[in-house]
Amino acid sequence: MARKRKGEGQTALVTGASGGIGLDLAECFAKDGYNLILVARSEPALKQEAARLAQKYNVTTTAIASDLGVQGAGHKLADDIRARGLAVDVLVNNAGYGIAGAFDSSKESDQLGMIDLNVRALVELTHAFWPFMLANKRGGVLNVASTAAFQPGPLMAIYYASKAFVLSFSEALWREAQGTGVQVSCLCPGPTASKFRERAGTGATRLSTLGTPVTSMSVAKAGYRAFQKNQRVLITGFRNRALARLVPYLPRTTILNIAHRLQSPI
């Protein structure tokens, strides 16, 4: 008789699942038997990936196209999921974007849009599904932050600040969930190969010349393992971990100068 997979009977909702880290996280969950709800804006890509993962891993998948950057979209998505009779055991808040450049020359809508997606939608969805997880004493939340969460980021100020929020919120939730059976992890990747850079316009910064980005699947696998262990925070990569741990020991102005230099165009 086939061994029961860890996630059988549970459903994972993954935002930003049409590509990159989100799609690979979805694959990690499907491999362990979790049914999936995949969310992003690109409906054709979502549907295609949902069908592929359903067939490959023998799980049920549902693709829901939604722009989570629209205010209230998190609530609407939660209502839509309930109306379909679906439950969410694990919430993977992965959808996010960054925009490089000085705050001065930025468009207000782009900056606020980052807060709406990276922060607001993440909180709305967590708030919607958290009580169900606590009542069931299982499942949890895997939030995708970034190594940007560990220091302020001149020339990408709002993105860094939004990820600092995600890290702080996740750690606090992790503590609140102690003893409940619910798990919380915050995945903090460093530079990763995906469409993120192209969308963020970070291609020509000094930071981008430091090393080769790792694959999104290696990040997803590490994040998935961390979640299963209820690891509070996972920073991917030895160098990223070392740098993040160094930050609290350096003068704040030194950190700001380094971050400014790294985010500057070549």
Going 166 to 171 to 175 to 178, the CA torsion angle's sign is positive
Which lies closer to ligand NAP via its Cβ, residue 138 or residue 157?
A: 157
Give the residue, chosen from 31, 33, 42, 181, that forms a contact with ligand NAP under the rule CB under 6 A. 42
Give the residue, chosen from 18, 126, 208, 263, that forms a contact with ligand NAP under the rule CB under 6 A. 18
Q: Any contact of residue 146 with ligand NAP (CB under 6 A)?
A: yes
Which lies closer to ligand NAP via its Cβ, residue 62 or residue 216?
A: 216
Query: How far is 44 from 22, CA to CA, in rounded Å?
Result: 16
**Regarding beta strands 61-65 and 35-40, do their DSSP bridges make them parallel or antiparallel, or are they unpaired?**
parallel
Which lies closer to ligand NAP via its Cβ, residue 107 or residue 137?
A: 107
Going 169 to 175 to 178 to 184, the CA torsion angle's sign is positive
Interhelix angle 216-228/20-31, rounded to 10 degrees, is 50
Provide, rounded to whole angstroms, the least separation between the CB of residue 191 and ligand NAP.
5
Query: How far is 210 from 37, CA to CA, in rounded Å?
Result: 36
Query: How far is 224 from 6, CA to CA, in rounded Å?
Result: 12
Q: Any contact of residue 194 with ligand NAP (CB under 6 A)?
A: yes
Q: Any contact of residue 75 with ligand NAP (CB under 6 A)?
A: no
Is 159 a known active-site residue? yes
Which lies closer to ligand NAP via its Cβ, residue 134 or residue 243?
A: 243
Is the distance from CB of 97 to CB of 118 less than 8 angstroms?
Answer: yes
Which lies closer to ligand NAP via its Cβ, residue 181 or residue 201?
A: 201
Size of the site for ligand NAP (CB under 6 A): 30
Query: How far is 77 from 233, CA to CA, in rounded Å?
Result: 27
| Cα 121 to Cα 19, 30, 80, 125, 153, distances in angstroms | 19, 23, 15, 6, 22
Query: How far is 135 from 229, CA to CA, in rounded Å?
Result: 20
Provide, rounded to whole angstroms, the least separation between the CB of residue 219 and ligand NAP.
8
Provide, rounded to whole angstroms, the least separation between the CB of residue 122 and ligand NAP.
9
- Candidates 103, 146, 154; CA nearest to 256 is 154
Cβ-proximal residue to ligand NAP, closest one: 20
Provide, rounded to whole angstroms, the least separation between the CB of residue 66 and ligand NAP.
6
Provide, rounded to whole angstroms, the least separation between the CB of residue 8 and ligand NAP.
26
Q: Any contact of residue 214 with ligand NAP (CB under 6 A)?
A: no
Applying the rule CB under 6 A, the residues between 79 and 98 that interact with ligand NAP are 94-98
**Which of 34, 57, 97, 159 is flagged as catalytic?**
159
Residue 205's DSSP bridge partners are 265
Q: Any contact of residue 206 with ligand NAP (CB under 6 A)?
A: no
Which lies closer to ligand NAP via its Cβ, residue 117 or residue 182?
A: 117
Counting Cα atoms < 13 Å in the Cβ hemisphere of 102 gives: 5
Active site residues: 159
Which parts of this chain interact with ligand NAP (CB under 6 A)?
15-22, 40-42, 67-69, 94-98, 117, 144, 146, 189, 191-192, 194-196, 199, 216
